[in-house]
Amino acid sequence: MTPVELILKPEFLIPVVPRGAVLREHAVAVDDGVIVAVGPSADVESRYRAQRTQVLAEQMLLPGLINAHTHAAMALLRGIADDVPLVTWLNEHIWPTEAALLSPEFVRDGTTLALAEMFRGGITMINDQYFFPETVAETANALGMRAMIGMLVIDFPTAWAKTTDEYFERGLALHEAWRDSKLIHTCVSPHAPYSVNDAALERVADLSRDLDIPVHIHVQETAQEVQKGIDDTGLRPLARLEKLGLVNPRLIAVHMTQLTDAEIDCCAGNGVNVVHCPESNLKLASGMARVEDLRQAGVNVAVGTDGSASNNDLDLIGEMRTAAMPGKAVVMRANAMPAWYVLEMATVNGAKALGFGQQLGSIEVGKWADLCSIGLDALESNPVYDLISHLVYSECRRDVRNVWVNGKQRLAQGQLVRLDADELVRKAREWQRKIVQR
C-alpha cells in the first residue's frame, strides 16, 4: 500500500475529462498537492493508505473553478457606481476613486475579502489584473489561493507606478520574486489597447515571448472602443494587437463583445484565448460576446467575473448560468452553450487559457489537486436527474462545501479555514466609511 496524504470519497465525481462523465463510487487520492489516483473507491483504497480519508456524502466533487478575469481588490468598490455605461463608470467613478484611495492596504484588504468570497464559491484560481500586484500576490499566497498575477501596464501614472518604465520595472520585479512559487504565477497585463501605447505594447509582446508567459488584456469590450480605435489608429483594436505581434496562443483577450466573422477566424487560426465576462458585459450594457460562434470555430473560451464593481459578485457558478442562458438567446438556439461546455469554460478552458492545461482544470492523475465539492442535500437541489445540468442551471454558490488548493483545504463544510468571516465584514464596513467620506 502506497501512503498518501488524502483520499476523497464523494457521492458523485465530475472529472470534466472525459467530457460529460459523472462517476459514482469513485475516489481521488492526493499526495503532495498532486492527484495520484482516480478510480473505483475499492480499487483506490486497496492501493493507497491515506493519512486522512474524507467521505463527501451527498456531494459532487469537481475541479476547482478558475476565474479567468478579475480585479480582486475591487471587492471594496462593490456597488459603488451602478446603472451607468463603461466610459462613465471608469472615468467618473472608478478611476477617480482609485486615484484617491489606492494603497497597499486597500489592495490587501480588498483582495482578502475577494479571495474569501471566491473560496466560498468553489474558486481555486484567479487571473488578476490590478495595481500593487505584489500585494495581491502576497495576499493570495498567504491565504492559499492559486493566482496568476498580471504585471500591469497602463499609460497614465498611478500610486503604483509613474512612468511606462516604472510599470515594467515593478512588473519584472514581481515576476522574479515569484518565479519558483507553486501557487503564484505571473503574466504581462496591459490594461487595454486604448490605454496602452504602441511602443509599450511592443515591449509587452517581447516580454511575453522571452519569458513565455501570457498577455492578459481587455479587448473590444464595447462598440465605442472599437470605433475610437479606428478613429485614432485606423485599425480595430484586435488588428492593432496583431500588427504589434500580440495575436498568438499566449494572448488572453478579455470581453471581445465586438467580433466580426473574420476576427473569429483570426482568433481560431492564431490560438487566441478569449475570456467571457457575461455579467459585467450585461450590466455595463457593453454587448455580448459571440461565444457560441467562437466555440463552433474552435476558439478556447474561458469565463471570468471581472471585478466586483461591475458585476457585482465573484460567483463563478452564477456566471456559468449567465454564460449559458443569454448565450442561447443570442443565437436563438436552446442547444447552444450546453451545460457541459459552460462547465468546461470554468475549468479546463480556463486552465488552458492561463497556460496550465496540463496541470489544472480536470480531475486526472498527475494534475494539481485543486478541487471543490458541492452539496446536494438542500431542498432547492432536489431532485437531481443530470448532475452537470443541475450544477449549471440549479446550483448556487452557497451550496459549495469544501475547497482544496494544491491539496490543502481552504473551505471545510462551508467554513473558511484561514479567515474569520466576521472580521472581513468589519474591515469591509470600515473601508466603506472611508470611501463614502471621500
Distance of CA 25 to the CA centre of its chain: 30
As measured in angstroms, the least distance from the Cβ of 306 to Zn ion is: 5
Residue 107 or 388 with smaller CB distance to Zn ion: 107
Residue 306 or 395 with smaller CB distance to Zn ion: 306
As measured in angstroms, the least distance from the Cβ of 280 to Zn ion is: 7
Residue 117 or 306 with smaller CB distance to Zn ion: 306
C-alpha cell at 282: 450585461
CA distance 384 to 387: 6
Residue 264: which residues within 8 A CB-CB, separation 6 or more? 290, 293, 294, 297, 299
As measured in angstroms, the least distance from the Cβ of 224 to Zn ion is: 16
Contacting positions for Zn ion (CB under 5 A) = 306
Residue 15 or 171 with smaller CB distance to Zn ion: 171
Residue 263: which residues within 8 A CB-CB, separation 6 or more? 220, 236, 238
Note whether 188 and 213 are within 8 A (CB): yes
Given the C-alpha cell 494572448, which residue does it identify?
Answer: 251
As measured in angstroms, the least distance from the Cβ of 195 to Zn ion is: 12
As measured in angstroms, the least distance from the Cβ of 166 to Zn ion is: 22
| Cβ-closest position to Zn ion | 306
Residue 365: which residues within 8 A CB-CB, separation 6 or more? 35, 36, 37, 38
CA distance 51 to 55: 13
Residue 292 or 306 with smaller CB distance to Zn ion: 306
**Cα–Cα separations (whole angstroms), residue 91 to 221, 287, 431:** 15, 19, 21
Residue 38 or 77 with smaller CB distance to Zn ion: 77
Note whether 276 and 291 are within 8 A (CB): yes
As measured in angstroms, the least distance from the Cβ of 107 to Zn ion is: 15
Residue 306 or 344 with smaller CB distance to Zn ion: 306
As measured in angstroms, the least distance from the Cβ of 64 to Zn ion is: 21
Q: Which amino acid is at 102?
A: L
Instruction: For residue 61, give the nearest of 283, 363, 435, 342 by alpha carbon.
Output: 363
